[in-house]
Amino acid sequence: MHRVHLASDLHLGAPNASDSRERELRFIAWLEDAAQGKGRAAAGPATEIHLVGDVFDFWFEYKHAVPKGGVRLLGAIARVADSGIPIHYHAGNHDLWTFGYFEQELGVTMHREPIVREYDGLRCMIGHGDGIGPGDAGYKRLKRIFTSSFLQSAYQLIHPDIGIPLASYFSRNSRARKGHLDSQVGRPEDEWIWQFCKEQLTHEAIDCFIFGHRHLPLDLEVPGASGNTAGRYINLGDWIQHFTSVRIEEGVAHLDRP
């Protein structure tokens, strides 16, 4: 039987070192509980853990340097992976500039696109959720720039003492400007990720879509072509305000709140 635990959007490093450290320790406790079968994982140790993007508010790897901070979480991830529990890391829009460090040093499996997995009969699609569905054309254009191998190589020519603080500044400002929108939800039809899920069901059978990025815990029905419920869209929320996660046990997905 699978016992899968998922969480996203810690944004480690924001808004300041003190608040970030407090959330980091809380997130590590969740991670270690999942590995040891405690807390939200009382049914037993995880057979698989997914960190579904934006674990760091900013991450950019240089050939011989990585951003300062987060060492306690990095160590915890490595310990859990070394214990034999597979950890899957889904690159988000704030931590997409990873070029092998997480895989080589921490032993995680990296994903850059949504993946499909089946757990005891529950067919799931898992991904960060940025840039999918209709709308948000500005970000989609920006993401094409961010993922350009030429521009990534060019940015690595900037000294880390300049490049990392500069990009971190813009990353924090982006979240500060748009953070209030994350607490707003209207009709499911207004949710871009929900629209993506509905469209996906027209050509692929998925029981449960699990995404992050939205920063708002959601558990919404997704109708099929006939109008009947065909799947669920669960958003993982975040570890800034909500401290929510998802666990899958006995083929059922649960949205857990503190």
**Higher-pLDDT residue of 133, 76:** 76
pTM of the model: 0.89
**Kind of pairing, strands 252-256 and 245-249?**
antiparallel
Position 228 scores a pLDDT of 63
174: nearest Cα among 61, 15, 60: 15
Each residue's pLDDT tens digit, 158-213: 777 777 776 666 666 555 445 445 556 667 777 889 999 999 999 899 999 999 99
The 3-class SS string of 90-148 reads ECCCCCCECCCHHHHHHCCEEECCCEEEEECCEEEEEECCCCCCCCCHHHHHHHHHHCC
Question: What percent of the chain is modeled with pLDDT above 70?
Answer: 85
| CATH code for position 97 | 3.60.21.10
Query: What is the pairing mode between strands 245-249 and 48-51?
Result: unpaired
Residue 4 has pLDDT above 50, yes or no: yes
Place of tokens 């970000």: 139
Of 122 and 155, which is predicted with more confidence?
122
- Statement: residue 145 has pLDDT above 90: no
Point out the least confidently predicted range of 122-136, 148-162, 230-244: 148-162
**Cα torsion through 30, 31, 36, 42, rounded to 10:** 40
Which is higher by pLDDT, 46 or 134? 46
**Cβ neighbour number for residue 240 with a 10 Å cutoff:** 20
The number of distinct structural domains making up the chain is 1
> Distance of CA 25 to CAs 28, 70, 75, 252, Å?
5, 10, 12, 28
What are the tens digits of pLDDT across the range 238-254? Answer: 999 999 999 999 999 99
Q: What is the mean pLDDT of the chain?
A: 88
- Rounded to an integer, what distance in angstroms lies between the CA atom of residue 24 and that of residue 18? 10
**Domain boundaries, position 220:** 3-256
Tracing tokens 């449960």 back to the chain, one arrives at: 208
